[in-house]
Amino acid sequence: MTDSAANGQPPTFIEVGQGNTARRIAVRAREGTVPGLFWLGGFNSDMLGTKALALDAWAAEQGRACIRFDYSGHGESGGAFIDGTIGRWLEESTAVFRQFCRGPQVVIGSSMGGWMALLLAREMARSGAGHASLAGLVLIAPAPDFTEALMWNGFSPEIKKEIETKGVWLRPSQYGDGAPYPITRALIEEGRNHLLLGSAIEVGCPVRILQGAQDPDVPWQHAFALAHRLPADDVVLTMIQDGDHRLSRPQDIARIIAAVAEIAPAGAKP
């Protein structure tokens, strides 16, 4: 992917929230046919990542609509990462979906974006999706409940104490520029309002899950636990034996695109 392809389309900005919680959210909306693609990125990632750009390029080739955006504190959006919570990012995801999506959509969520996709589906079922509908979910190394199941429950007593007393802990990172990133008490505590894995998850649409068996961040057992909480009909879990967490290799991208194309072929009816 060339720099011009990645950066040729400037973002549109929308305001989400009111008063002191208002933040500018950067959105790239490609017009096209349905079913459209709606991208939900991961924790501390942005819409110019390898998978997001590959999906947008594929959508362009197919003449299909594609919506990408950055959560607050991520990429080109406003706000500070340290202020982020699951509820805050879900509010932004819902606002972008309702404002930009028309007709059936395939929601593709990577890592934390997988959790967001499931929460978005639940929100749409509760309060309606406006002019859009869910054609299906494609979840890549999905990490529902990660703040509790994959972070808090695995933290040492020392790290937990630091979060509880100081309100934040700087977690080392092997991604991006390698700089540590903050895990806040607010992120952990507010995340408990959105836990999904304790009961059945009704999404009302087909689901495809792609999981790397060598994923060091989201164990494959987590994907199995999720699959067991979803309805039995039209849920497919694909285990990629040599896959890591990113699933950004050419063969991984091909699998992701194949899942999107299978779940909602071009010209599919709402």
Distance CA 22, CA 131 (A): 24
Q: How far, in whole angstroms, is CA 87 from its chain's centroid?
A: 13
Nearest 5°: CA angle at 24, between 260 and 18?
115
Catalytic residue positions, numbered: 111, 215, 245
Long-range contacts of 173-181 (CB under 8 A, 24+ apart): 173/44, 175/44, 175/45, 175/246, 176/44, 176/45, 181/44, 181/81
Q: Which of 110, 120, 129, 52 has its CA nearest to residue 86? A: 120
Q: CA quadruple 204, 267, 239, 51: dihedral positive or negative?
A: negative
Torsion on CA atoms 188, 192, 193, 197, rounded to nearest 10: 130
Q: Give the HSE-up count for residue 56: Cα atoms under 13 Å, Cβ half-sphere.
A: 24
Contact 64, 25 (CB under 8 A): no
How far is residue 156's CA from residue 260's CA, in Å, rounded to a whole number?
Answer: 39
37 neighbors 65 (Cβ within 8 angstroms)? yes
